[in-house]
Amino acid sequence: MTLTQSDLKTRARKRHQALRRKHRDPRFRAVMGRFVEEGLLETNIEGIVPRRRAVPLDDALWAGTVEPRIMELLPAVLVKKSTLLRLPKELPEDVVEVMHAIRHGKPMPNFRGVPPEQYLPWVTQVGRKGRSPSVLKSFRFRHDDVLRLARLRHSLPARSDTAVIRMALELLEASTAKNSPIDPS
């Protein structure tokens, strides 16, 4: 069966009307308005009014089926600025999985059809700009290690034990890169 130009125009017109209907849906308008208010998205869709109130996660997931940028943005919002959303007591399994992967530096799954290459760049754009979420690591230090950290914290411009450890890691990495017989490139 071959489609005529008239058939294609009819199909396109019906899809456009369906999209416009979805754009008028209060759920879509609320979600877009919230993300526009936060400065995360821009839109030229008529009638989108910035809003300050949090929107339900279910509405955001539905709106993401209408506007793909919302679906790309959601994992980052869930991890770094979840106050933009009203979360249910029990999150969908795929939402929990992608949040866990981002927070713990695990292999990233696709999120409702969106590959990690599309949603990961948003992680540094949401919340504290330019920063990835911290990954919790726990270490067991001996007593003399804790004392050494405290002495270093007081003698360096570091404000916390974590800052001292970061500085030490940077120095160690720099010294190993200079002395490494293996070419890193």
Structure tokens at 185: 């490139």
Contact 27, 64 (CB under 8 A): no
Sign for the CA dihedral angle at 35, 50, 25, 13 comes to negative
> What average pLDDT does the segment 169-179 reach?
84
Model confidence at 180: pLDDT above 70: no
Residue 111 pairs with which residues in a beta bridge?
A: 114
Task: State the chain's mean pLDDT as an integer.
Answer: 87
The mean-pLDDT minimum among 66-70, 95-99, 125-129, 168-172 falls in 125-129
Tell me: the pLDDT tens digits for 72-86?
999 999 999 999 999
Q: How far is CA 144 from CA 148, 150, 169, in A?
A: 6, 10, 19
Distance CA 146, CA 21 (A): 62
Query: What are the sequence ranges of the domains in the chain?
Result: 11-123, 143-179
Q: How far apart are alpha carbons 183 and 185 in whole angstroms?
A: 6
